[in-house]
Each structure stands twice: as C-alpha cells, then as structure tokens.
A and B are shown apart, each in its own frame.
Chain A
C-alpha cells in the first residue's frame, strides 16, 4: 500500500490540464480552510483519517481472516456463528464493519457482494472500496448480470454454480470467504493470506494458486 501517494502526485501535477479537477481542488481547499477557521475540524485529524485508510486498514486484514478460516476449523465455525466477534479477535472492528456476515463459496455456490444504492463495504476488513465497486456499471449490473460482471474480471464459473448476490441495503456488511485453491496444503497461514485478493473477498474473482499474474504485476 505504498504507491498511493505517487498516484496522488501524478494527478496533482496534471491539474492545470483538467479545469474540472482544478476547480474541485480549489473548492475542497476553500471548504477545508473555512471549516478549520470555524473550529469545526482539526486539520491534524484529517491527516489521521487519510493515513489510517491509506496505510493501516485495507484488504490485507480480510486476507488474514480468510487464511485463518482455511486453516483453523474452530475459527471457521466461529466465523459462521458470529462473524463480527470472530473478526474482532484480530482487532478488525468499528466503522462500516459493526455487523459482519461471512458468506462462503463452495463447489456449487459463488457469492458476490454489491451495494446498488450507494457504496456500503466492510471497511475494517477490506479498507475503502475501489472506484469500480462504487461505480454505476458495477452497481447496476451485479444484481441482473452477475456472470457478465465476473467476466469483466476474467472470472468464468461452471454453469452449475449458483450465484448468490448480496445487495448491502442496511448496516450489515458482507465478506466473501473464497474457496481455498488446490495444491496449497503445505502453505503457511501467512503464505495463504498472500494469495487472497481483495477482489476474491468481494466475489468478482476466485483465489488462484499460483497467484494471478495481474496481482503480482501490481505489487
């Protein structure tokens, strides 16, 4: 999670070429200085919010939960009965993850999570959602054309697999427990966690072993 600042500066440098971006930059800057002047926000608190969600809370949290569930039957059982408590045992809790449910993929069932109405997403285990999760293409299609959405990610499931789509319409947050890939019997819990992608915990991918090339390239 170290590349984010570079992305930010890339965009920043191009501000002059994008009037709308420039305008937003100014609008947000003006709002921030107004709110600081009025004593409504502490500027150091803003930096803290950003730092937490750029460097501390992200999908590696969820990957640890998944790897534990794959290797520890008692933990899996706990996750099924009380996902919020089981996940909290890692210290992953709080905002946008107060009420957790874990949905398990099997040979016959594949789960996919969406929020058609806005962008509800389990922050403590996955961090902030990617742009595509919040976008109109995903929100509109996940419920009517889940196989089409999976195909956009290169994911093709056998015809006899039933897809369960979870539309997050209240404050319950859903985490997909992907299937453990074959051939990983000798891997440690940490090595297993490294295989688990954010996308597999939303349900748009399955977990591959060896890891997907795209993920390796991104690292």
Chain B
C-alpha cells in the first residue's frame, strides 16, 4: 500500500540523531510493548508480514506522529482484535469479558530463549524455476496494490540489475493477507542511484531484495 511507512526518498524529516549503543528502550512501557508483541507473535496467529501490515494500515498522519513502539502497540491491539483473541470492549476496560481462548497456548518463559535462537527461516521451495539470473536487467512493475507489498514506490518502474539470488522465500504480499505457504524467488537488485534520483543522485547504487512477481524483463 502507498502508506506513510514507504518513506524512502522523502524530504523534510530533518537530521539523524545518534544514540548510545546501550540505549534500547525509553521508558518501561516500551519494554513491555516490545515483549508483549513478541510474546503474542509466539501464539502463531499471524505472520511477521501481517504484523507489518497492521502498523502501516494506520492513517498516514497517525503513523507519522507515533513513536516506534506506539506503532507496535497499535499493530498488536489491531491483530489481537482481528484474530478474535480479545474484543474491543476488553481492550477498553482491560478486563477479560469472555473465557480464555482454548486453541492457543502462552509461550512459557523457559521456552523464550530457544524460540528466539530457532527463529523462523523464510526459505521455501518454489514450484517453478527462477525467471531471472544474476546479471539480468529487470524492471520493477509499476504496481500500486492497496495491500501490503515490499516493493517501495521509489523503485517502481525503475530498471536495475540482479546481483544476488537468495532462493525461494515466503512471499510477503501473500503472507500479509494471511495466506500461508506462498513462496517465490527472491533476488537482490542493484539500481544505479542516477536511475532513481536523476541529477540529485550521489555516485553509487541502492540494493533491494525483490520477489519475482515484482519484476519483469527489461
């Protein structure tokens, strides 16, 4: 979707402010919002892409006004309600109105470390051979899906060169719609900065990981 989250190339946000290495959270509520999001993600009711989509679906003005963990909190509340784990009423009151959902199991503390170490690999077999090879010139399709996609606006319609083939990966666009098991070939594509930014470009290139459905031969 063409949301406020797709900000590559925008102007006017000001300078980047560095922070010390050991500063991970700003306030206790950020720690809890972070941990609640990971713990609820561990229930297996949604994919990482559904998580991203729940944040970027906010009205643009709200997205831009929120701090980072406010995005997470908004996304978590949205998904908990959409997946039927809590109701709007329960969110408002902070009190359980119905019984505990019986098809989910809270992740116990003793399994947290192992679950993180295992992660969730995203490589998958794909039922067709790769359409592109390293060295191929490709154009990003000029698509503007109103749902989640990982092809940012700044590369749509632009031509680049395939520089890496990552294999088959879970296709984010389908995964964000709740479809499980849809995978496609993933490539790293390099775009000459001049082809993206014209006369304002600085010498160099910009690399993106793009799935085959985003691409066409150039």
Contacts and interface: CB of A to CB of B under 8 A. Distances in A.
Given A28-B29, A40-B106, A168-B209, A117 B17 contact: no
A141 B21 contact: no
Interface string A88-118: 0000011111110100000000000010111
Q: What 7 pairs across the A-B complex have the smallest Cβ distances?
A: A30-B94, A116-B8, A94-B119, A44-B109, A170-B209, A163-B204, A11-B27
19 contacts: A3-B20, A4-B25, A25-B28, A31-B91, A38-B85, A38-B101, A42-B39, A42-B107, A45-B107, A93-B119, A95-B117, A116-B7, A116-B154, A127-B24, A130-B21, A131-B26, A144-B8, A170-B186, A171-B169
Nearest to A109: B204
A164 interface: yes
B140 to A, nearest CB: 11
A169 B150 contact: yes
B8 A143 contact: yes
Given A48-B109, A96-B119, A171-B169, 11 more contacts: A3-B20, A35-B36, A41-B39, A48-B112, A49-B116, A54-B24, A140-B11, A152-B18, A153-B18, A165-B204, A170-B172
A189 B213 CA distance: 44
Contacts of A169: 150-152, 208-210
Nearest to B69: A24
Contact of B119 (A11, A32, A97): A97
Interface string B100-116: 11001011110111011
Interface string A135-151: 11111111111110100
B157 to A, nearest CB: 16
Contacts of A197: 21
B16 A31 contact: no
Interface residues of B, number: 96
A46 to B, nearest CB: 4
A211 interface: no
A12 interface: yes
A162 B24 contact: no
Interface string B46-90: 001000100110000000100010100100110010000110001
Interface of B: 5-11, 13-29, 31-36, 38-40, 43, 48, 52, 55-56, 64, 68, 70, 73, 76-77, 80, 85-86, 90-91, 94-96, 100-101, 104, 106-109, 111-113, 115-123, 150-152, 154, 164, 166, 169-170, 172, 186, 188, 190, 196-197, 200, 202-211
A21 B29 contact: yes
Interface of A: 1-4, 7-8, 11-12, 21, 24-25, 27-35, 37-42, 44-50, 52-54, 58-59, 93-99, 101, 114, 116-119, 127-128, 130-132, 134-147, 149, 152-153, 162-172, 197-199, 204, 214-215, 218
A141 B91 contact: no
A199 B85 CA distance: 39
A58 B22 contact: yes
Contact of B36 (A3, A32, A134): A32
